[in-house]
Structure 1
């Protein structure tokens, strides 16, 4: 099967089989990874007249790009006050502007290349506790201070009209965030890239890279020699490049999909069809599908292993908020890894003068991958100023020897989960 089993895979548009890399070839740029980052970078580079080869270990969108929650979220995982503390006021402002450009880029890519991916705007951040409402009000004020006026606070009664649950005290509605079908977005990006002359090789796992003056990528059946190399494997890059490996940790995230409902019943759950997430540290997120299912995500795992009884656990959580769905069967349960960083900010930069990378979007990758691809392409073309803004974000490695990183992280996340429950 070309993709991990999921509702996304079962509703994906047909895609051409792309050839295995065989033999030795050359290009201006070789990109490792056929997800959002790699594909947008390829589109941007091809638009500048460079020849590009993308090497994908499985098939386009096989990793997080084809399995994620499909939610497009304004800004970063951290507040702008924290970001300013790391990089200063001017760079924090630049980063905010880049994050907004990322959303505009995504919309433009979908429109310009006619990508059929169910893109829809409108998003609710829902509050379960009074402190959540306080935090959301502060977040709104921060956004308005940046000139972003697309959010509004909503109280309990209005939230109840937006989402058919009594669980929330209120929330923050953002008309500038949204949702899409993540796998169809990736497949559309691939077709757009190929239409611009990009060569994509699937089932072509890169087993070794040379990041020196004459970079090369090696697979079991061929090599690509290039002027520049871009590492865009994110959580699935593995140990291919040791200098950046310790700065990210794979985190499992999971989604269930119910059986289809009567259309009126499905619409009554979220009448406007917006995407929703709560603001627990270990959050839950959900939306309606075009075929009238309920897609509910959560259950994050930091251990590297899928939790036992995952489908049942997610179903129990869903029913806490939506007990009226108790009669529905769960048709789908899937998951995959995203990459998180210690500070939950994206990690972009250079391994060497010829080798660039982007990783660690920490849950905000649907949008931020777009701007990552653009600033890397700009740097390769000789304009590195905007990439350097990202590169100045300080990133520490996850602490401890390799064998102890996961247990330490799991203990830390257990504390935050307990805090959510209390």
Structure 2
């Protein structure tokens, strides 16, 4: 049987740890079985291991195979739907509780990096760039909202101030979040995995879960073994592959595309991003970009609904890159790839429990870097008997997409088309 591998990407080509963990080939017992070795799974497992639990992680492919090892590598605080939306739709108490948690994920990530000496090119500073006056007004409101929930380190930038940070004429202003930042996403999750193993945890790769038998002790079966556990955490997100159909009906895999240029000269790097911050714009179908640790421009954007693989990633992304940086015309593209994230109907994370001892978290809707690290802490606390914050998330309604599998893709694409047109027209 051929060993699983990461899809081709700049991240896979520059991974610090290329070890392949063996698959599960026996029947074992553990305190907690975590399904999925992405950010959610590793955050949960690492938090539990820090508290003395025996934890086993089953990964169907490789550590960080999904979005955790392929994303844009940006620390973006809060949720895909912000705290004002949550408060309006679910009440002030829920809004306040979600607001208290909205900025914790980035702090957890930074603690892991510092405590376990994870080498992942972590750099501070994230910029939300406004393409028009409406978007800049919304950033002013975002600053006030986040500050009302205790978030500090925010700075509004007008067009002239923004030129100090971003060498592009595309934007009218921005919000700089000094607590944002960027990093090498695959090396982060690989470092978290190594930290977990240093505490006695075990990870099996090429060990896809094929069934979960509920009961006082849950049994997770793979092709060549099984894990009996007091608790199970399902953290497969967009890669459940039929394991729990009712979870999959609540969310839709979506693809985002990323390209990476050849290494750029120091002069070009300084011209593009003088302060080495990461950037995302404020469009519904947004662009995001940053410099890698070795001086490449990593540029992503676009959405394909239903997780289909686009034929020519470069043709989708390069035109957007050139709108931002026309001087890069003709630059060599060394890598291009796609990765799936999971979109929920309300664009809020879904945390919950099946029966008494099977927990799950999924559907970060484009905010997975920070939300997944928070979810791991919330899930681990719930397993340890501190379920108050888990209950806040679990109390949010979780709707299935209308129209089932047949209609959810075209309906969602139509909605995205509307918002994209609004962005293009500046309305």
TM-score when normalising by structure 1: 0.97
- Provide the C-alpha distance between the structure 1 equivalents of 2:38 and 2:346, rounded to a whole number of angstroms: 23
Moved more, 76-85 or 185-194: 76-85
- Runs of 4 or more above 4 Å deviation: none
Cα offsets for 1:47-68 (capped at 9, x unmatched): 2221111000011111111000
Matched, 1:206 2:209: yes
CA shift for structure 1 position 74: 1.5
Segments of structure 2 that go 5 or more residues without pairing to the other structure are none
Structure-1 residue corresponding to 2:93: 90
- Provide the C-alpha distance between the structure 2 equivalents of 1:147 and 1:233, rounded to a whole number of angstroms: 32
CA shift for structure 1 position 404: 2.0
Structure-2 residue corresponding to 1:146: 149
- Provide the C-alpha distance between the structure 1 equivalents of 2:340 and 2:322, rounded to a whole number of angstroms: 25
Contact 1:304 1:406 in 2 (8 A): no
Secondary structure of 1:161 counterpart = coil
Structure-2 residue corresponding to 1:270: 273
Segments of structure 1 that go 5 or more residues without pairing to the other structure are none
Secondary structure of 1:337 counterpart = strand
Matched, 1:215 2:218: yes
- Provide the C-alpha distance between the structure 2 equivalents of 1:46 and 1:146, rounded to a whole number of angstroms: 31
TM-score when normalising by structure 2: 0.96
Contact 1:18 1:201 in 2 (8 A): yes
- Provide the C-alpha distance between the structure 1 equivalents of 2:307 and 2:44, rounded to a whole number of angstroms: 28
2:51 pairs with 48, 51, 62, which one? 48
Structure-2 residue corresponding to 1:28: 31
Contact 1:303 1:407 in 2 (8 A): no
- Provide the C-alpha distance between the structure 2 equivalents of 1:68 and 1:276, rounded to a whole number of angstroms: 14
RMSD, aligned α-carbons: 1.3
Contact 1:252 1:335 in 2 (8 A): yes
- Provide the C-alpha distance between the structure 1 equivalents of 2:104 and 2:264, rounded to a whole number of angstroms: 37
Contact 1:15 1:187 in 2 (8 A): no
Secondary structure of 1:162 counterpart = coil
CA shift for structure 1 position 375: 1.4
Contact 1:153 1:172 in 2 (8 A): yes
Matched, 1:414 2:411: no
Cα offsets for 1:359-399 (capped at 9, x unmatched): 01111111111121111111111121111111112221111
Structure-2 residue corresponding to 1:60: 63
2:396 pairs with 393, 397, 409, which one? 393
Q: How does 1:121-200 map to 2 (within 5 A)?
A: 121-200=124-203
Question: Number of aligned pairs?
Answer: 422
- Provide the C-alpha distance between the structure 1 equivalents of 2:143 and 2:228, rounded to a whole number of angstroms: 48
Contact 1:87 1:392 in 2 (8 A): no
Structure-2 residue corresponding to 1:115: 118
Secondary structure of 1:311 counterpart = helix
Matched, 1:78 2:81: yes
- Provide the C-alpha distance between the structure 2 equivalents of 1:106 and 1:233, rounded to a whole number of angstroms: 19
Secondary structure of 1:40 counterpart = helix
Matched, 1:105 2:103: no
